[in-house]
Amino acid sequence: MDAALELVGLPVKCAFGDCKTRGFVKPATDYGGWFRRSFKKWYCTEHAKVAKEVHDRIAETYKTPEPKQDTTEELYKLLD
């Protein structure tokens, strides 16, 4: 089965609206221009740019804040 996936690719369907595009993407490659948003969401080469922009916008909006480096000094200041 793994050899078949490497040779032919995984069958995928574009998840963009009513797009009927189907194709095969090979693992561990650039996916032939297809964009993968999650395991089950694939976008064809025509819609990949739009899907990536939406994905990046969502990731930027809801990104996890950076943790504080060292809070020990702040805790000592609160004790004083």
The sign of the dihedral angle between the CA atoms of 18, 21, 27, 31 is: negative
pLDDT beyond 90 at 57: yes
Q: What is the pLDDT, as a whole number, of residue 14?
A: 95
pTM here? 0.69
pLDDT in the model for residue 1: 65
Read off the pLDDT of each residue in 47-72 and give the average, rounded to a whole number: 87
Q: Which residue has the tokens 């990949």?
A: 48
Q: Which residue has the higher pLDDT, 55 or 39?
A: 55
Inter-residue contact 14 to 40 (CB < 8 Å): no
Residue-wise pLDDT for 21-46, tens only, equals 999 998 878 888 999 988 789 999 99
